Amino acid sequence: MSKSPIFLLLFAMMINLPMQAQNTEPPFLKYTNSKWVDSVMKTLTPDERIAQLIMVAAYSNRGEEHRQEILKLINEQKIGGLIFFQGDPESQVKLMNEYQEASKVPLLGAIDAEWGLGMRLDNTISYPFQMALGAIQDEDLLYELGTEVARQIRRTGLHLNFAPVVDVNNNPNNPVINYRSFGEDKYNVARKATAYMRGMQDGQLLTTAKHFPGHGDTDTDSHYALPQINHPVVRLDSLELYPFKEILKAGIGGVMVAHLNIPALDSTGVPSTLSKPIITGLLKEELGFEGLIVTDAMNMKGVTEGNEPGVVDKDAILAGNDLLEFTVEVPKAISEIRKAINQRLISQKEIDARVRKILAVKQWVGLNNYKPIETKEIMRELNTPEAIYLNRRLAEASLTVLKNDNNTIPVQGLDSLRIASVSFGTMKKTAFQETLELYAGITHFNLPVNASEIMVKTLQDQLQNYDLVISGIHDFSKFPRNTLRLNEDVLQLIKDLASKENSIFAFFKNPYVLNKIDGIEDSAGLLVAYQDSPETQEVAAQLIFGGIGANGKLPVSVGEKFKAGDGLEVKGGIRFSYTVPEAAGMDSEILHTRIDSLMNLAMEMKATPGAQILVARDQKVIFHKAYGTHSYFDTITVKKDDIYDLASVTKISTSMAALMKLYEQGKFNLDGTLADHLPSFRKSNKANIPFYDILTHQARFQPWIPFWKDTFKKDGSYKRKTFKETASENYPIKIKEGMYLHKDYPDKIVKAIRDSPLREKKEYVYSDFFFILAPRVVESRTNLEFPEFLQENFYDPLGATSVGFNPQLPLYKIVPTEHDFLFRQQPIHGTVHDEGAIMLGGVSGHAGLFANANDLAKLLQMYLNGGEYGGREYLEQETLEKFTKTTFPDSENHRALGFDKPYYNDKGESRNTAQDASAASFGHTGFTGIMVWMDPETDLLYIFLSNRVNPTRDNHRLYSLNTRTEIHQVLYDAIKQE
């Protein structure tokens, strides 16, 4: 055929390009003349061959009538394929198996799953939209996405994905491509699309580049009308066609043609789907594409308007398409194509060549050896931990920081900041806000899209009291379209906040929308997350506090505010990230199933009413769950932010933290004695015992003294001047309502310790004595009260807001302990369980600390990190190593300085930890049912918080079941071997 001037121009431009690497052929073409294809061709009638070119829409959620319609088309018309839309995986597989059984030739199954099965099927994963993927700087991650999407689609019995979108979205007002594009940079689009395609095709899933020759620069949706693109050939060739040419070179199997009117390529005004100059002339002849050419859906108004069903399908075949997607009237289409053959508008040989191409695809995907797809375990096999982890990695990698004045991100100086968060566009607490509060104490506010002027003014006044305002701008629509619903009052508040130096904005919308918000570019911190999902909200919050970093680049320009390619690198990893076990090389299934099983058993056996368990590895929190109820007699379920009485874990969370700090400051000497710090001990039998012995529990101290018993007379009444029913200056220590202890009684406790006899033999005997005295030792070397010293030096800068003595929280946030029938004669709820600690005003170095697992983990992770957390050094690594190693390794004393260590029996088995815990590991347990353990060799942190003493301390089932250490071992079993 003669070529038009347009294509001669294109050809001339192409031959003058530098030599390129040899193109990769579409992978299925090698089968077009195979024995299997030959054998199938011999069985097909002329009309059945035409039917192979037709793919109809199928749904797995439309019931029996639709099922019968599809079966009729298969049985009577012998269609070649199905494209599945809405439904669920199990139903789809069952239907596809039935349809395949009914079909003479195996059916080619397709789906339009640009961002994974979640685009079409319920209860499956939706990966980030392509615009978010366009921000990612690691193409290998796109390849990995492709292989995973291929695995999932093949698992549901399908073979062809109508993806990726390779349109260059250079029109912000594009209503149909937009966020479905990798962006406006043709090179970026080509790289990302090619990586994604290669992953899918390496997973034996055929793909189609769409929407040829480029749907990016239009403001019309081809679902509803025919868009027109008026660019000249030179522009189309250099921009719109560039990614298509690149992905064709890379060996993509298919191309989908769009419904577009492009006068420069076809002056007749017909949709590109029906244009022979565009499909045959440009795509096949000029670009040399020999793969599968597919129409966009043939029910869209961009092609149906003014065209008769059936006839329009025939015209699409005449134009050069191989496969008709979403044919509406199949018998009419077959009839019209047969008529065109008879009229010699197209030859049977040309039809046969296209049929062979379809059959070759079927052989390439394995349909020549078709087997039904198993439905058993399909949901578990689709939503694997690895697939879920990939989704999170993609969300993290897409995060794009556009502003970071004065290194506002990650937030530092938590102890000096009053922080507020605002979620714009919602009245409910968001996942973004819930994640933010994992890092620091934050006051949350919400403002709806149509907030009144009074609501806006009230919030504006409230925010004046905060040093840092972190805002999330939300969309909460299924798709991040280029729309903005916030009213003018809300927009003005955003502008005002952005003008201040203390503002950080996380943008969970289409980046184009930034151009519709005046002044947001002035904010100190601005990050774009591209869409509004739980994953993007969580990772954005983690970025703000340094749990993760960011290196995304903006894939599109935003007016004059930001340009494509903008994006600042922010390093993370200074605080916890919250993720899945696979992120730390651990197995989700092992962790969740076995820990759940052990906890369920413990609760069934009444070993504890409930628990919090937190596991972190490599500073990643990969398991954090709450189990059960506060007690056996109520229905208050344990929440992850409820606080527990830590009992003896107080020792390593208060006393040891303070003493290690003083040790570094030269204010505490391990060779020193109690007498060096407490003058009243200078003439005691404990005056010359060094702290090395005291902290390893071999100082010959008595294990404990039941101080509370000394308040009673022999007749059971209280001694004179011990308690009063009302608080006063002389009776300030609250034991319970109506019971206040004399102010001097703590001194009596110290005197009792001082005057107590020493044990005869120097050996390991666990004792609380020194840790009761520790606050006085600390206060003797500082100008601060013990709690104040700890808050100032540790808890406040760590953002450990729930850690402290005498909690001031509603009781429903505090897990109760024992019903005390001996001393307080009431259930213990909201105050310390230990009698000695309550007699010390709830503040002691041996017991009395409360915390939730997440905040306690910050302190313990700092220990595990060698003294550093959140970009701040709290202690020196040498100090931690000194205090956490076995102090007297050649003796039978296994303890470190204040910390517990693995305790081995004669067979070399640990009696108090997981069997696989390293000798370098350290931790502590608590009487109320607590265990915390750190292992520097595996960078593993384990926290088990429970209230096994509820309702009585006589319940030892937690010990007999060995629940805590059994769970500890599960963590090591879950570590994947590298």
- Helix H, strand E, coil C: the string for 665-709 is CCCCCCCCEHHHHCHHHCCCCCCCCEHHHHHCCCCCCCCCCCHHH
58-76 pLDDT tens trace: 999 999 999 999 999 999 9
Q: Are residues 404 and 552 in the same domain?
A: yes
To the nearest 10 degrees (0 to 180), the angle between helices 330-342 and 311-319 is 50
The verdict on residue 823 lying in a domain is: no
The answer to whether residue 710 is domain-embedded is: no
Q: Report the pLDDT averaged over residues 831-843.
A: 97
Q: Whole domain around residue 90: which residue ranges?
A: 28-381
Q: Which residue, among 88, 558, 583, 79, has the nearest Cα to 334 in the 3D structure?
A: 79
In this prediction the pTM is 0.95
- Predicted confidence band at 5 (pLDDT cuts at 50, 70, 90)? very low
CATH code for the domain in which residue 92 is found: 3.20.20.300
Residues 6+ apart with CB under 8 A from 370: 100, 106
Does residue 732 lie in a domain region? no
What pLDDT does 22 receive? 62
Does residue 372 sit in the same domain as residue 403? no
| Predicted confidence (pLDDT) at residue 87 exceeds the cutoff of 50 | yes
pLDDT band at 978 (very low <50, low <70, confident <90, very high): low
Is pLDDT above 90 for 12? no
Q: Is residue 838 part of a domain?
A: no
Q: Looking at residues 855-875, what average pLDDT do you find? A: 98
Give the total number of structural domains in the chain.
2
For residue 131, which amino acid is it? Answer: M
The pLDDT of residue 709 is 92
Question: pLDDT band at residue 23, thresholds of 50, 70 and 90?
Answer: confident
Taking only the tens place, the pLDDT of each residue in 361-372 is: 999 999 999 999
Is the model's pLDDT at 14 over the cut of 50? no
Could you tell me if 405 and 364 lie in one domain?
A: no
**231: cis peptide before it, omega within 30°?**
no
CA nearest to 322, candidates 285, 288, 359: 359
59 and 195 fall within a common domain = yes
Where does the pLDDT of residue 20 fall: very low under 50, low under 70, confident under 90, or very high at 90 and above? very low
| Beta pairing class for 723-724 and 739-741 | antiparallel
Q: What is the pLDDT of residue 478?
A: 85
Q: Do 265 and 373 reside in the same domain of the chain?
A: yes
Judge whether residue 736 has pLDDT over 60.
yes
Confidence of residue 476 (pLDDT cuts 50, 70, 90): confident
Which CATH number covers residue 458?
3.40.50.1700
Give the percent of the chain with pLDDT over 70: 98
Residue 122 sits in the same domain as residue 246 = yes
User: What is the rounded average pLDDT of the residues 710-726?
Assistant: 90
284-291: average pLDDT: 97
Domain boundary among 573, 600, 617: 573
- pLDDT the model gives residue 16: 45
Mean pLDDT of 571-594: 98
Are residue 443 and residue 324 in the same domain, yes or no?
no
Residue 392 lies in a domain: no
Residues 410, 348 within the same domain: no
**Residue 452 counted as domain residue:** yes
pLDDT average, residue stretch 488-501: 97
Give the model's confidence band at 300: pLDDT under 50 very low, under 70 low, under 90 confident, else very high: very high
| pLDDT for the residue numbered 879 | 98
CA neighbor of 556 nearest in space, from 203, 147, 151, 134: 134
Is the pLDDT at 18 greater than 50? The verdict is: no
Residues 134 and 236 grouped into a single domain? yes
Amino acid at 23: N
pLDDT in tens, 162-213: 999 999 999 999 999 999 999 999 999 999 999 999 999 999 999 999 999 9
- How large is the average pLDDT for residues 348-365? 98
Residue 891 has pLDDT above 80, yes or no: yes
At residue 662 the predicted structure's pLDDT band, cuts being 50, 70 and 90, is very high
Domain boundary among 573, 591, 606: 573
**Each residue's pLDDT tens digit, 413-424:** 999 999 999 999
Look up tokens 């204010």; give the residue: 667
- For the cut 60, the answer to whether the pLDDT of residue 13 exceeds it is no
Measure CA of the first residue to CA of the last residue in the chain; give whole Å. 60
Residue 13 lies in a domain: no
- 911, part of any domain: no
In a shared domain, residues 340 and 448: no
- Report residue 480 as tokens: 């991040």
Residues 349 and 270 in one domain: yes
Longest CA pairwise span in the chain (Å): 119
Asked whether residue 405 falls in the same domain as residue 356, the answer is no
Give the pLDDT of residue 908: 80
Q: Provide the pLDDT for residue 11.
A: 47
